[in-house]
Structure 1
Amino acid sequence: MKAAGLAAGFGIGAVASLMGVAGGELLIPTLVLLFGADVRLAGSLSLVVSLPTMLMGFARYSRDRSFAVLGRNKGFLLWMAAGSILGTFLGGLLLGIVPGSVLLPVLAAILLLSAVKVWRHG
């Protein structure tokens, strides 16, 4: 289990770094499918595992000035951040109410839709 976790973390970290993401879109399915974690537990674990990934990505992207684009999109960024904070608050309130049997198909639908959109965009 330790070796599998190390390998999964390495792969997710490498892909997340290349794509400039935190890795949650890869972590949650990995935790659910490979390690059998409940979707809510996988979400919580994803937050903890994503933090070092985000910090490393932030450091890397800061050094090569990749964040310059943020200044040009400040309005959108602020609205997105505000929505994210509100959504996180509401989601936290619903965490004990919405069952995993509802969350898992929702996650699957989001991932499928994301995969189709990314495939068509690339």
Structure 2
Amino acid sequence: MLLFGVDIKTAGSLSLLVSLPTMLVAFARYSRDGSFAVLGANLRFTMIMAAGSIAGAVLGGLLLGVFPDAVLIPALAVILLFSAIKLARHD
């Protein structure tokens, strides 16, 4: 967004698009070495995370055209700041 001067909605969409090949390669590699077996052992946690991810994606898609960039950019900055603080305090 800052580097190329695109609006936040375009930047977010492009970020997802760029991440897709990485996720597909990771999925293929983890599938081959059996790393997904841990998901079966933690099925409840896996289902809660999947449901939250789907709900967040649907809600975010529905709200995409509702909020202007002037609201989204500060909101994203606050979320990133809190995430950075939480990460820095993590032991």
CA 1:81/1:100 → structure 2, altered by over 3 Å: closer, same or farther?
same
Larger Rg, first or second structure (1 or 2): 2
Percent same amino acid at aligned positions?
67
1:60 aligns with 2:29: yes
CA 1:117/1:64 → structure 2, altered by over 3 Å: closer, same or farther?
farther
Instruction: Report the RMSD for the aligned CA atoms in angstroms.
Output: 1.8
With a CA cutoff of 8 Å and minimum separation of 6, indicate the structure with the bigger relative contact order: 2
TM-score under structure 1 length normalisation: 0.64
Q: Could you tell me how far 1:61 is from its partner in structure 2?
A: 3.1
Q: Could you tell me how far 1:64 is from its partner in structure 2?
A: 4.1
Aligned length: 91
Partners of 1:109 and 1:87 in 2: how far apart?
18
1:23-78 CA distances to partner (integer Å, 9 max, x unpaired)? xxxxxxxxx12112211111111111110011122223334444333223221111
Aligned counterpart for 2:15 among listed residues 46, 50, 69 = 46
TM-score under structure 2 length normalisation: 0.82
Partners of 2:62 and 2:85 in 1: how far apart?
31
Partners of 2:71 and 2:65 in 1: how far apart?
12
Partners of 1:36 and 1:91 in 2: how far apart?
22
Aligned counterpart for 2:60 among listed residues 69, 91, 94 = 91
Which 5+ residue runs of structure 1 have no aligned equivalent? 1-31
Paired residue for 1:101? 70
